[in-house]
């Protein structure tokens, strides 16, 4: 058992490591070291919290920690990089559900303290947390109740919302926005009932109010995310990340755990900032994403003229061999086909032939922020040729060949040309301004978001149909 001084010192050290970890993730070259900062910080947090004053029941805690570590290791080993977005969503759901359980437990302990006080029981009968509650004045107990309400509401919304986000990302739930009859009115009514239940709870109503509050919040999380289209899932995952942080911070206040407060605030604020950045990159209002959903239309879509013209690998190779500059635009299709290593090999061969090769990364490419960057780093693509949209968009008119691999919305000219398009106003990679565009695509479908792409019908676009990895593997030996 360690004294509170050691625990506080460890909390400060862990907080600093978490901040360094977040800061380092902004740079690809520093990201690996930043992850280790986070790992060490979390190890410090768990160990010193477990050894802190008032902590017991190690006979139960240690097996649970070991079981959790083994399950986490097993899941991490099995999950492919293409499944990382849904794994993140699933992990958010665990945080939300944990917040609900801890909040329920906190209120039960509060009620126990009040019952013991009423019978003039001894404080030594209390558990460590109940003993902490016993030291609180009446107004402090009111704040504890507020923390419990907030933690249950935000935790429950995070749980069911994350479960639905997981389902949409994994393809187990239809990616199209769907709501029950009544739409947003149902969410508003449920939120209003949650407020009434919170008021009743603060005025002495029974534990049942927290159970009903949780049930309504579970519904809000489910219905809210069901009403958001699949193309907005990257923003939704980031938002749920923020929610899980605020839920953790609320529980930190409830448990008087400074480290949990700091960590939750870091996660909550960084997730909110990332959600804002992504909405800005998509020219989307944050509230319209959360309340409206992506995929609805504001009018009849513009008619698309022309037809998709197919090309074989030989034709693409001929254009690449005569090109001086090449830009590759990766999307989720590259991740699904696990084509990143083939793309890396193609890049190496093109550069060896004296071609200028660069990558154009849209802020919301893939289904998770940085998804494409991680895949390319895994395939050892040099960091200095991986450029963000703002860095490369003006260079497309001077580019000989663009290869689009499994992307749709982020290269869709309808964002600029069709005011009735669901993605109207969204900044996109203007690949159509290059001399020729080759699109690696499985077929003629509209893709995950269900939006038709006029790029595929333009005169300077050719479609290379088939699995992305097979297509790129066929190209590589044809490069001279």
Which positions are annotated as active-site residues? 409
d(CA 307, CA 305): 7
Please list, residue by residue across 76-91, b when 16 or more beta carbons sit within 10 angstroms of its beta carbon and e when fewer do.
eeeeebbbbbbbbbbb
Helix, strand, coil shares, percent, the chain, to 5: 65, 5, 30
Catalogue the long-range contacts made by 123-128 (C-beta closer than 8 Å, 24 or more residues apart): 128/53, 128/54, 128/55, 128/56
Token pair, residue 329, equals 């635009």
d(CA 246, CA 268): 5
Token pair, residue 158, equals 């995070």
**C-alpha distances in angstroms, 468 versus 18, 100, 297, 338?**
38, 43, 30, 8
Question: For residue 361, what is the enclosing H or E element?
Answer: strand 356-361
d(CA 40, CA 366): 29
For every residue of 65-93, DSSP letters joined together read: HHHHHHHHHHHHHH--GGGHHHHHHHHHH
């Amino acid at each position: 058992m360690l004294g509170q001084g050691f625990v506080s010192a460890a909390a400060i050290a862990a907080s600093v490591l978490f901040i360094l970890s977040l800061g380092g993730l902004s740079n690809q070259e520093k990201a690996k070291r930043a992850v280790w900062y986070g790992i060490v910080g979390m190890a410090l947090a768990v160990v010193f919290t477990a050894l802190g004053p008032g902590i017991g029941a190690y006979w139960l805690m240690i097996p649970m920690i070991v079981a959790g570590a083994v399950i986490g290791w097993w899941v991490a080993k099995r999950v492919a990089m293409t499944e990382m977005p849904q794994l993140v969503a699933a992990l958010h759901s665990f945080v939300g559900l944990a917040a609900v359980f801890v909040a329920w437990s906190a209120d039960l302990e509060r009620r126990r303290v009040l019952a013991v006080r009423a019978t003039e029981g001894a404080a030594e009968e209390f558990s460590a947390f109940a003993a902490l509650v016993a030291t609180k004045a009446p107004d402090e107990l009111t704040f504890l109740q507020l923390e419990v309400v907030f933690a249950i509401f935000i935790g429950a919304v995070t749980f069911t919302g994350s479960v639905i986000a997981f389902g949409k990302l994994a393809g187990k739930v239809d990616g199209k926005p769907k709501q029950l009859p009544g739409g947003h009115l149902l969410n508003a009514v449920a939120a209003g009932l949650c407020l009434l239940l919170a008021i009743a709870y603060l005025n002495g109503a029974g534990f049942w109010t927290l159970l009903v509050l949780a049930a309504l919040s579970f519904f809000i999380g489910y219905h809210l995310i069901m009403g958001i289209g699949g193309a907005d899932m990257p923003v939704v995952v980031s938002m749920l990340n923020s929610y899980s942080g605020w839920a953790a911070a609320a529980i930190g206040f409830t448990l008087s755990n400074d480290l949990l407060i700091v960590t939750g605030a870091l996660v909550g604020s960084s997730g909110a900032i990332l959600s804002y950045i992504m909405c800005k990159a998509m020219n989307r209002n944050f509230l319209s994403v959360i309340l409206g959903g992506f995929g609805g239309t504001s009018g009849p879509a513009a008619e698309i003229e022309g037809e998709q013209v197919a090309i074989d690998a030989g034709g693409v190779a001929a254009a690449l061999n005569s090109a001086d500059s090449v830009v590759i635009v990766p999307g989720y299709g590259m991740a699904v086909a696990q084509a990143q290593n083939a793309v890396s090999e193609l890049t190496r061969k093109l550069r060896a032939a004296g071609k200028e090769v660069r990558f154009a990364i849209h802020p919301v490419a893939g289904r998770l922020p940085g998804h494409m960057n991680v895949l390319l780093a895994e395939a050892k693509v040099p960091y200095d040729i991986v450029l963000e949209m703002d860095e490369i968009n003006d260079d497309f008119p001077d580019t000989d060949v663009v290869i689009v691999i499994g992307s749709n919305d982020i290269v869709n000219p309808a964002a600029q040309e069709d005011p009735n398009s669901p993605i109207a106003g969204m900044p996109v990679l203007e690949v159509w301004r290059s001399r020729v565009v080759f699109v690696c695509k499985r077929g003629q479908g509209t893709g995950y978001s269900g939006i038709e792409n006029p790029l595929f019908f333009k005169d300077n676009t050719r479609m290379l149909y088939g699995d992305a990895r097979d297509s790129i593997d066929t190209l590589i030996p044809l490069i001279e």
